[in-house]
């Protein structure tokens, strides 16, 4: 008790004396048996806090609060008053696509085909390989932008160039409604993506369909086109929307035939085969439509691959922040694979 009153555990010479006296006086062993452990405990307790500071680093993580969730903006509370989220764009819904007018796309196509350049930066162009990072600096030094069509189309298709590339082969690309590498922070959202591959080959003239198949196929016939007769056939229906309304992956294969018949053969130079311009070409385009997850904190800002299947409603509600916006007083709705509701 007296030693407690003297605060002996903080008195270093005292503890030292105790240890020494303990060695000298064997009979008094138990009397220092309390002081020393107590002093050790006090020491351990004292060094723990500094050790915490030294050994435990504190990093910042971002969490989603109600101020980050746009879906909640119909309830009037403090979250509504100070939203932290920001709208960065739109993603066209399958149902909206199905109702989009033909003429809108055609007029856009006409003007954009005229103005497109291989060297302009294509912001909506995404690499299929989500971790692919071209050596931007190197290509910039030779005058090729790594977001340009020169890089993604011509350099990729040039077989002789592939071996000269300084990095890995250039992967395929896809197109999405938001600029490449768009990230959504703490929110997890999906957008639509489209990627097409096309291959053309020369075929026998007999493979050109005698009657272009489909409900409304595109047929072109130029009877006298520079000494040739040209037929073009794109089977299918150029007035109809070919996709289903689902969000899961779907593939669409289209074909195009171009047939050129040389009319001048009979007139002149039939002996020279190089002047025979007759040929038949078949081009096959395969387009895949589906959804992918945008880059966000959860996936380290690396956007996800093409989803074979749209997540189940329970998973969508629990893990993702996709909502189709409501109109009027209706609450926002989590889009499902077959969800076709739309503002009209």
Partner 1 sequence: MTSQDVNPSDKETWRIPGPLMTTALALFANGSWLNTAAENVSNHSYNGTYQTGGYFDEIPSWQLFWRGLPFSNLWTPGNGYNELEWKGRDFVSQCGYFEERTFDDIRITNHDLFETTQQFFAAFAPGFNGGKNQTLDTAQSLLEIAIFVANRAFVTWLSPDSSRNTLDILDGRHIYTSPGAAVPKPVLSKSSIIIMSVLIGLQLLGLGYLIYYLYRVPSWSDQLDAMAMARIGASLHHRGVLPAIGPVSKQDLNALQTVGGLIGIVEKSPRRDSSASESVLPDLAATDGSAVELQRLTSPEHGASRVRHSVIGVELGLDAPVPILTTSQAHRSLYVPGMKRLWRGLFASGKTTPIDD
> What is the C-alpha separation between 321 and 324, in angstroms, rounded?
10
The answer to whether the beta carbons of residues 273 and 279 sit under 8 Å apart is no
Closest alpha carbon to 192 in 69, 98, 288, 101: 288
Smallest distance from partner 1 to CB 126, Å = 11
Return all residues near 13 (Cβ < 8 A) that are at least 6 apart: none
Per-position DSSP letters for 267-310, written without gaps between them: TS-TT-GGG---EEEEEEEEEEEEEEEPB-TTTTT------SSP
- Kindly tell me which of 109 and 133 has the beta carbon lying closer to partner 1: 109
Q: Report in angstroms how near the CB of residue 134 gets to partner 1 at its nearest.
A: 15
Complex with partner 1: residue 14 or 306, whichever CB lies closer: 14
CB 228 → partner 1: shortest distance, Å?
A: 7
User: Max Cα separation, the chain?
Assistant: 132
Backbone angles phi, psi at 179, to 5 degrees: -60, 150
**Smallest distance from partner 1 to CB 223, Å:** 7
Nearer to partner 1, 161 or 317 (CB): 161
> In terms of CB distance, is 248 or 277 closer to partner 1?
277
CB atoms within 10 A of CB 190: 22
DSSP-assigned letter for residue 48? H
Closest distance to partner 1 from the beta carbon of 52 (Å): 7
Judged by beta carbon, residue 98 or residue 128, the one nearer partner 1 is 98
Measured between alpha carbons, how far is 119 from 146 in angstroms, rounded to an integer? 9
> In this structure, how many other beta carbons lie within 10 angstroms of the beta carbon of residue 224?
9
Distant-in-sequence contacts of 163-168, Cβ < 8 A, 24+ apart: 166/135, 166/138, 167/134, 167/135, 167/138, 168/132
Nearest CA among 249, 243, 246 for reference residue 306? 249
Closest CB to partner 1 among 239 and 300? Answer: 239
Identify which of residues 76 and 113 has a Cβ nearer to partner 1 in the complex. Answer: 113
d(CA 327, CA 344): 9
Smallest distance from partner 1 to CB 142, Å: 6
* Cα distance between residue 258 and residue 230, in whole Å: 7
Q: Least distance to partner 1 from the beta carbon of 76, Å?
A: 19
Q: CA of 275: how far to CAs of 247, 265, 267, 272, in Å?
A: 50, 8, 12, 6
**Closest distance to partner 1 from the beta carbon of 22 (Å):** 11
Nearer of residues 31 and 133 to partner 1, judged by Cβ = 31
Question: Cβ of residue 287: shortest distance to partner 1, in angstroms?
Answer: 5
Residue 93 burial by Cβ neighbours in a 10 Å radius (0-12, 13-18, 19+):
buried
Pick 275 or 305: Cβ nearer partner 1: 275
Rg (CA), the chain: 36
């Amino acid at each position: 008790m007296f030693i407690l009153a003297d605060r002996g555990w903080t008195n270093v010479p005292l503890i030292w004396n105790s240890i020494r006296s303990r060695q000298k006086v064997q009979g008094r062993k138990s009397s220092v048996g309390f002081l020393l452990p107590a002093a050790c405990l006090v020491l351990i307790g004292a060094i723990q806090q500094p050790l915490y500071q030294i050994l435990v680093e504190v990093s910042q993580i971002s969490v989603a609060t109600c101020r980050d969730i746009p879906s909640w903006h119909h309830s009037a509370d403090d979250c509504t008053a100070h939203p932290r989220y920001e709208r960065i764009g739109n993603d066209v819904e399958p149902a909206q696509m199905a109702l989009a007018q033909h003429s809108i796309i055609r007029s856009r196509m006409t003007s954009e085909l005229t103005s497109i350049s291989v060297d302009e930066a294509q912001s909506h162009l995404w690499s299929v390989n989500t971790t692919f990072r071209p050596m931007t600096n190197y290509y910039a030094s030779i005058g090729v932008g790594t977001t340009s069509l020169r890089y993604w189309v011509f350099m990729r298709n040039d077989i002789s160039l592939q071996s000269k590339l300084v990095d890995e082969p250039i992967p395929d690309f896809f197109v999405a409604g938001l600029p490449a590498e768009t990230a959504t922070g703490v929110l997890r959202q999906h957008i639509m993506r489209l990627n097409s591959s096309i291959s053309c080959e020369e075929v026998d003239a007999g493979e050109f369909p005698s009657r272009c198949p489909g409900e409304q196929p595109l047929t072109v016939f130029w009877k006298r086109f520079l000494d040739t007769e040209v037929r073009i056939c794109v089977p299918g229906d150029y007035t109809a929307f070919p996709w289903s309304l689902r969000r899961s992956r779907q593939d669409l294969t289209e074909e195009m035939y171009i047939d050129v018949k040389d009319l001048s053969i009979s007139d002149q130079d039939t002996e020279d085969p190089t002047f025979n311009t007759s040929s038949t070409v078949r081009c096959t385009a395969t387009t895949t439509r589906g959804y992918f997850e945008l880059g966000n904190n959860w996936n380290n800002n690396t956007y996800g691959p093409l989803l074979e299947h749209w997540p189940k409603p329970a998973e969508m509600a629990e893990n993702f922040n996709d909502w189709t916006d409501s109109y009027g007083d209706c609450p926002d709705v989590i889009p499902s694979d077959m969800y076709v509701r739309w503002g009209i």
